[in-house]
Amino acid sequence: MKFTAKIIADFTKGEVIGNPDEVVSDISRIEEGKKGTLAFLANPKYEKYLYTTEASIVLINRDFQLNGNINATLIRVDNAYDAFTSLLELYTKMIPEKKGIEQPSYIDPSAKIGENVYIGAFSYIGPGTVIGSNVKIYPQSYVGDFTQILDNTTLYTGVKIYHGCYIGRECTIHSGVVIGGDGFGFVQQPDQQYRKIPQVGNVIIEDCVEIGANVTIDRATMGSTIIRKGVKFDNLIQIGHNVEIGENTVIVSQAGIAGSTKVGRNCQIGGQVGLAGHLKIGDNVKIGAQSGVSNSLKDNETVLGSPALDVSKQIKAMIVYKSLPEMSKRIAELEKELKALKERL
């Protein structure tokens, strides 16, 4: 589908600088722009590409000051990133929706299926399940017994949801996610063998949650593992049993949260962060990448490192750490001089 600069400007409430009839039919990154594509500039680090890109149309912020000649047609908007996101949303809505129930697939007769549902081939819908309207379940997915999935939620290929779990409205769950697998619960016996503790709880995922590929969320030992409204997970994250993640918290890839830890609202947790079990993380907390958190954190704290410390303390510690080889050598020299002085005395 083709769009002119004028149509894009009208949709984004922007101002055309250049040819309003310039046409695009695809999108591109500004540094890889090609004729007939739309790009955007939001990060000043990429400004140099604005003057060399071959993209036909570029979205820029309204207050951006040009420092050279531009070949592309520009559209000035209040926020280039937001405007580009809105255009991508419009583009995805134009993609034809999947509908209907493909075969072979299995839907238990006791399951309740809403309107306008898509269920892909080789999927399994267990007894007692409730599937809301406009739900999309892509091929090779498994929805266990007595699970509920509410309206407008999408499960991509190969999602596995164990029995008794609850998925809210307008959630997006990407391929390879496992929800409701057993929590890691074992008791060591006198003979050093491990006895499994039955995991009889479930997982509750509230509305507007997005879960990246290959995330695992364990069911609770008792009660529920809870992912609150608006949470966003990157790929490859492990959530342990009885964990609770507060509203609008964001967690980046390869993070792991051990059992029974409670994370507050509006937190930001970087990649490869590890949180020990039974902690309480306050609201608005920021945890830098590769941090190891072994103690609870209060509201609004920002921590970094392993063990995780207040970011200002950790930066000072890192500066000292870099100097350790030189300091060690200096200390050895001082000890040698001190020993010589003692011998002379």
pLDDT at 321: 83
188 and 273, same domain (yes or no): yes
pLDDT at 95: 81
- Going by C-alpha positions, the residue among 187, 19, 12 that lies closest to residue 88 is 12
Instruction: Point out the domain boundary residue: 36, 66, 94.
Output: 94
147 and 289, same domain (yes or no): yes
291 and 157, same domain (yes or no): yes
**Rounded-to-integer distance, Cα 195 and Cα 174, Å:** 33
Range of the domain at 320: 314-344
Its sign, for the CA torsion 85, 255, 231, 173, is: positive
Rounded to a whole number of angstroms, the distance between the first and last alpha carbons of the chain is 91
What does the pLDDT look like over 320-334, one tens digit per residue? 888 888 888 999 999
**Rounded-to-integer distance, Cα 324 and Cα 224, Å:** 47
Based on the structure, what is the number of domains in the chain?
3
Q: Which residues of the chain have pLDDT under 50?
A: none
Rounded to 5 degrees, what are φ and ψ at 337? -65, -40
What does the pLDDT look like over 58-102, one tens digit per residue? 999 999 999 989 999 999 999 999 999 999 888 888 888 889 999
pTM > 0.85: yes or no: yes
Instruction: Tell me how many helices (H) and strands (E) the chain has.
Output: 5, 40
pLDDT at 345: 75
89 and 152, same domain (yes or no): no
Q: Is 241 a catalytic residue?
A: yes
pLDDT at 315: 87
3-state SS string for 185-235: CEEECCCCCEEECCCCCEEEECCCCEECCCCEEECCCCCEEEECCCCEECC
44 and 180, same domain (yes or no): no
**Rounded-to-integer distance, Cα 248 and Cα 173, Å:** 16
pLDDT at 180: 98
236 and 112, same domain (yes or no): yes
Rounded to 5 degrees, what are φ and ψ at 100? 90, 175
Instruction: Point out the domain boundary residue: 32, 63, 94.
Output: 94
269 and 319, same domain (yes or no): no
pLDDT at 318: 85
308 and 320, same domain (yes or no): no
In order of 58, 76, 282, the CA distances from 17 in angstroms are: 10, 7, 47
